[in-house]
Amino acid sequence: MHPKLLTIGSFYLPTYGVMLAIAYLVAIALLTRKADREGLPKNEISDLSIAILAAAILGAKALLAIVDFKEYLADPASASELIRSGGVFQGGLIAATVVALWYIRRHRLPAWRITDMAAPSIALGEAIGRWGCLAAGCCYGKPTNVPWAITFRNPFAHEAVGTPLNVPLHPTQIYLSLNALLLFAICEWVYRHKKFDGQVFWIYVLGYALTRGIIEEFRGDLVRGFVVPGVLSTAQFIGILMAIASIVMLFVLRRRGAVAQEA
């Protein structure tokens, strides 16, 4: 764990922020490359990427603020941590999706074709970004005795995000990264063999919702919030809604694609 990549006097460059920047740049590069191959306008896709980036950052922080509303209300000064925090991934995903669909509709771009191109980028971006979580010590797991347990010892991580020190924990950051890498591979495969537009994106959303719900069982941080204390986390609750929406949309888009082919 190395939360501070570079320190100069009182200034420090957070490793998490650097990894997140790399994740976004790689994701955007992958998206624009696919868009170029599809013959879509580069300028509009570049603007769309910037809009998605801004929405993802703000959405992730907004959901974290909602989840920890009581804490910030009791201690307004602690709200400053939102600036350094990456937020909640699902909040970023939802906000980015809404903004992307709005932008696509406004500029009359092929909505589901673009979201299909974006799905692998989102997955790969998360796979990279989660290593920033590992460096910062956030999103940590529950205590465990498994051979691959990880032990954090940096006091700064404990002060910043409450990471337990000198306790073997599930490396949930690595679980999340490997899971995202698997979803990336699945999305890339489906993208090459898809039967209808929108299939890749909603398969990604469904896969993420299900696998994130499972990985949540190994998480030990309380900052993610709970809908039912100790039973159903905020991420799991949102995941259930995402899974239902995914199944419905896959059915609707598949049927719409079949009707279009018959016509």
The CB-side HSE value for 57 (13 A sphere, CA atoms) comes to: 13
H/E stretch holding 12:
strand 11-14
Instruction: Tell which wins on pLDDT, 119 or 3.
Output: 119
| CB environment 163-179: b (16+ within 10 A), e (fewer) | bbeebbbbbbbbbbbeb
Residue 208: its pLDDT value, please?
95
Task: Please identify which residue in the block is written with the tokens 């191959």.
Answer: 37
Residue 234: its pLDDT value, please?
83
108 φψ region: left (φ > 0), alpha (ψ -120 to 50), beta (else):
left
pLDDT per residue as tens digits for the range 149-191: 999 998 888 887 788 999 999 999 999 999 999 999 999 999 9
pLDDT per residue as tens digits for the range 54-104: 888 888 778 777 766 666 666 665 555 655 555 677 778 888 889 988 998
Q: State the average pLDDT for the chain.
A: 86
pLDDT per residue as tens digits for the range 192-218: 999 999 999 999 999 999 999 999 999
Question: Structure pTM?
Answer: 0.85
- Look at residue 40 and give its three-state secondary structure: coil
* Pair of tokens at residue 221: 């941080």
